Amino acid sequence: MAKTLVLPAKKSPAAPPPSVKRSIVRRRRKAFNGVSFTVPYFLGFAVFVVAPLVIGLAKSLYTTQSSGLGFGGQTVTFSGFDNFARGLRDGQFWGGMWRVALFAVVVIPLTQIAGLVAALLVDEVGRRLAGRFRVALLVPYMIPGIVAILIWIYLYSPVVGPLTPFFAMLGVHADFYSGSLIWVSIGNIMVWSSLGFNILVVYGALQSVPPEIFDSARVDGASRLRIAWSIKVPYVRTSLVLTSVLGIIGTLQIFSDPMLFRSMTPQTVGRNFTPIMMIYDQAFAVGDLNYAAALSIILALVVGIISAIIYKLTNRAPI
Amino acid sequence: MNDRNRRWSAGVVAVVLALSMAACGGSDASTSTGPVEVEYWAWSPNNEPVVAKFNATHPKIKLKLVKQADNPTTATGLRNAVAAGQNVPCLVQNFGEVPSLLAEGLLADVTTQLEPSVEKKTFTETAVKGVTVQGKYYGVPTGAAPTFMMINRAVYDRYGIAVPKTWDDIIAAGIKLKPHGVQVMNLAGEDPSTLVSLVQQAGGTWYAVQSDAWKVGFLSPESLKAARIVQQLVDNGIVANQTYTDRPALIAYFDQGKMVSLPTATWQLANYETNFKRSIGNWQPVDLPQYSDATTFVTPAHGSAMLIPKGCRHLAEATEAGVWINSAKEAIDASYNAETGAYAWPGAIADPSPWVESAVPKNLFGSRRAEAAPIILKATKAGADPWLVGPNYTAVFKELQDQWALAVTKKITFQQLLEHMQTYTVADLKAKGISVAAS
């Protein structure tokens, strides 16, 4: 895009003075044409991100109130930051937040390490073999999230699934719906479905490592393990930061997994199990849109702050 | 450039024209003469023949069925439509309790429209109660399906256990069945309806109106009495916790003979008939167990409603259609489902006896099939509705579901559940600015 904007401008000085004005007009029009390509994106951004954000912010500042027996209609009153104060004190909301944070601390490093190791292994084998592995590893990522969860939920089911009888055969009693195993069950789905994407990103980064470095490392007598640890890993660090930040954002907003698990095992997964589940429940089950909007904004701030901290920390560390 | 400008403006004009014409088209259709169109939202199957029959017999009203995906999508759709004040349907299958939907501002007052049918005693008093709030009517009564119990008699006989008549009998049977790896009942983790029904059967209610304020009574004697029964079922470890969401797993489980008593209603029977493989014919319909100290035979029969939303422009026609669907003989006849051989249960009218026979499936009860119809009719007659719900019951029920899940898995006791619900409900009402009477 930059080229098409700059090239005609370089040619125009050769033109006679009267045409300068016209060339400016043409340049502006070309610039306008270039900018117009971004319209669909910004339109979408405005309609689906900015507008809901503004509406959400506005909603969060109001409270819906009734009076008497509650049948005389509702009034919406401005309540300032009351909803936010309530959200900051809400034990259920923060309980869900901690639950998910703890989960994230375990599952995100796990996904990153598994993704990195798999990418390094794929990188080690020949190019043709790698292509086949890449496709196989990507299959889980290509399956839509909800479908993947449904498949796993049936695999996990203690009543109709094959896993519980299989473990029973080995003498292990495994109820994947139970409180002690529920996060393992959800974590397994998460690793399973995000591994392919992580491998793809890291493997892509590995391809851009200059081969001369490997040659010189080999000349210096470095083992394959040493090359992987001291050359490849530092080179893909930025990719790992990217997949980690995406992982954190995705995990803190985890919704569909526990929601579907809830339908199977409501004894284990409560309605406020994760922050987004609580927001959904407030908005669509309880019907308190104002409070739900305030909670959404609090969650967005928390996710933003954590992502920023991780980003800063990992980008500062020396190679 | 001029050319291009002209092209652009021509395009814009065309789009604007197209949009405004589409808008006109919309309003034209609604103001034209001819039959009044009543839009009807429902997700349950087999409404089409009823609607067709209505349209064939009512030239002045055109009922238009708009099939919905399920209960939650209907709720969201209606909330959006009422909030927007546009394309509001005039009849909607019920997805909640009338008082809480009214408090949300979703329902229209149809007192004058429904009054004639109420005076003619088209509906039973219990059914009318289900649409009444503070002496006014909001919706068309659909009544309740009679509750009774079915037991796997083959298993009861195998272990020499008598047919349970009271809840205490159920507990005693459970204790005897436990060593054989058989559970006496199922309490699904998401479904507190067993507790609610027991409170209703005891004649209790969690909400009452006391001089223009709500009196919340989760700790009433009736409520505690109900809690004691469920607590014993859970404490003795004699109940299963299979979810209703995973239907195939649930049916397979019921069919295995590992769970032997099932409070049920007419509409559930067809499902068991079609899907039971091993236990079909072993089941026996019996009266719903009573409290040991009960003096009269009672079944819970809290009435439900067909909703008429606020913003519906044809209240009279909507009420007429709703009344017809829920009470006219030809409407109930038209609801025949060839697959199950049953009619939609006419829960709001005094005499459902013409349709009872068809509600009983052919094979489920084996040689005891003939016992079913009298039991269903007895349950219908004994139906009582002491139940009243408050304006915040939607939120309260969600909280109750979560608490129930904790109680059936022994994380809390049912006493603690009721105490929590009392505090929660009072706090929630007050937070919404609603008056609460001191208890």
**CATH assignment at residue B420:** 3.40.190.10
At B359, give phi and psi (nearest 5°). -75, -15
Whether residues A65 and A87 fall in one domain: no
Mean pLDDT of B25-36: 57
- The answer to whether A292 and A56 have CB atoms below 8 angstroms apart is no
Q: Per the domain annotation, does B155 fall within a domain?
A: yes
pLDDT score of B203: 94
Tokens 């969860």, located at residue: A149
Handedness of CA B105, B108, B112, B117 (dihedral sign): negative
Q: Per the domain annotation, does A309 fall within a domain?
A: yes
- The answer to whether A178 and A170 have CB atoms below 8 angstroms apart is no
Q: Per the domain annotation, does B436 fall within a domain?
A: no
Closest-CA distance, A173 to chain B, in angstroms, reads 17
pLDDT score of A316: 60
Q: Per the domain annotation, does A70 fall within a domain?
A: yes
Mean pLDDT of B35-54: 93
A-chain residues within 8 Å CB-CB of B249? 157, 159-160
Q: Per the domain annotation, does B44 fall within a domain?
A: yes
Q: How many domains are there within chain A?
A: 2
B31 burial type by CB count under 10 A (0-12 exposed, 13-18 middle, 19+ buried): exposed
Distance CA A145, CA A141 (A): 8
* Cα dihedral: B3, B5, B7, B8 (round 10): 160
Closest-CA distance, B419 to chain A, in angstroms, reads 18
Q: Inform me whether the pLDDT recorded for B121 exceeds 80.
A: yes
Q: Inform me whether the pLDDT recorded for B360 exceeds 70.
A: yes
Q: Is B258 on the interface with A (CB under 8 A)?
A: no
For residue B95, the chain A residue with the least C-alpha distance is A285
Closest CA to B283 of B247, B255, B302, B303: B255
Partners of B215 in beta bridges: B208
Q: Inform me whether the pLDDT recorded for B26 exceeds 70.
A: no
At how many degrees (to 10) do helices B414-431 and B393-408 cross?
Answer: 160
pLDDT score of B248: 80
- Region of poorest pLDDT, from A226-230, A296-300, B257-261, B362-366: A226-230
Whether residues A69 and A92 fall in one domain: no
Q: Per the domain annotation, does A319 fall within a domain?
A: no
CA A118 to chain centre: 20
Whether residue B394 and residue A71 make contact (CB cut-off 8 A), yes or no, is no
Partners of B384 in beta bridges: B300
DSSP label at residue B342:
B
Whether residues A212 and A161 fall in one domain: yes
Whether residues B219 and B263 fall in one domain: yes
- How many residues does this entry show for chain A? 319
Distance CA B176, CA B239 (A): 13
Whether residues A58 and A110 fall in one domain: no
Residue B363 — very low, low, confident or very high, per pLDDT cuts 50/70/90? very high
pLDDT score of A18: 62
Whether residues A91 and A57 fall in one domain: no
Q: Inform me whether the pLDDT recorded for B414 exceeds 80.
A: yes
Whether residues A34 and A107 fall in one domain: no
Q: Is A4 on the interface with B (CB under 8 A)?
A: no
Distance CA A62, CA A81 (A): 9
Q: Give the three-state DSSP class for B167.
A: helix
Tokens 């859970």, located at residue: B234
Whether residues B296 and B311 fall in one domain: no
Give the structural domain span for A223: 82-314
Q: How many domains are there within chain B?
A: 2
- The answer to whether B428 and B396 have CB atoms below 8 angstroms apart is yes
What does the pLDDT look like over B368-394, one tens digit per residue? 999 999 999 999 999 989 999 999 998
Whether residues A57 and A107 fall in one domain: no
Closest-CA distance, A159 to chain B, in angstroms, reads 6
Whether residues A302 and A210 fall in one domain: yes
What does the pLDDT look like over B162-216, one tens digit per residue? 999 999 999 999 999 999 999 999 999 889 999 999 999 999 999 999 888 999 9
CATH number of the domain where residue A252 is located: 1.10.3720.10
Tokens 């409900």, located at residue: B425
- Within 13 Å and on the Cβ side, how many CA atoms surround A309? 8
Q: Per the domain annotation, does A27 fall within a domain?
A: yes
Whether residues B270 and B174 fall in one domain: yes
Whether residues B166 and B79 fall in one domain: no
Whether residues B345 and B364 fall in one domain: no
Rounded to the nearest integer, the mean pLDDT of chain A is 85
| CA angle, B121 then B124 then B127, to 5° | 125
pLDDT score of A36: 87
- Structure tokens, B181: 């790896």
Our separate counts of H helices and E strands in chain A read 17, 2
Whether residues A30 and A173 fall in one domain: no
- The answer to whether A149 and A194 have CB atoms below 8 angstroms apart is no
pLDDT score of B140: 97
Whether residues B334 and B376 fall in one domain: no
- Region of poorest pLDDT, from A189-203, B310-324, B408-422: A189-203
Handedness of CA B366, B371, B376, B382 (dihedral sign): negative
Partners of B62 in beta bridges: B37
Helices (H), B178-280: 193-201, 221-235, 247-255, 269-275
Give the structural domain span for B38: 3-144+302-357
Whether residues A135 and A260 fall in one domain: yes
Last residue of a domain, one of A62, A77, A92: A77
- Mean pLDDT: which of A23-37, A222-236, A263-277, B148-162 is highest? B148-162
Residue B9 — very low, low, confident or very high, per pLDDT cuts 50/70/90? low
Tokens 């208890």, located at residue: B439
- Structure tokens, A29: 């029009």
At how many degrees (to 10) do helices A127-142 and A182-207 cross?
Answer: 140
In this prediction, does ipTM exceed 0.95?
Answer: no
Which residues 116-175 in chain B show a CB within 8 A of chain A?
133-134
Whether residues A34 and A155 fall in one domain: no
Q: Inform me whether the pLDDT recorded for B247 exceeds 90.
A: no
- Structure tokens, B27: 């309003």
- Beta strand pairing call for B140-143 and B304-306: antiparallel
pLDDT score of B29: 43
